[in-house]
Amino acid sequence: MLLIHAGATLAMVGLIWFVQVVHYPLFRLVGPAVFVPYENAHTRRTAWVVGPFMAVEGITAVLLFGLTPNDIGRPVAFAGLVLLAIIHGSTVFLQVPAHRSLSVAWDEHVAKRLVSSNWIRTIGWSARGLLALAIL
Angle between helices 2-18 and 32-67 (to 10 degrees): 160
- The residue count for the chain: 136
Type and span of the H or E element at 14 = helix 2-18
The CA R_g of the chain, rounded to the nearest whole Å, is 16
The pLDDT tens digits of the residues spanning 77-132 come to: 999 999 999 999 999 999 999 999 999 999 999 999 999 999 999 999 999 999 99
Closest listed residue to residue 53, CA positions, set 101, 120, 7, 92 = 7
The pLDDT tens digits of the residues spanning 1-11 come to: 899 999 999 99
| pTM for this prediction | 0.94
Average pLDDT value over all residues in the chain: 95
pLDDT of 72 reads 63
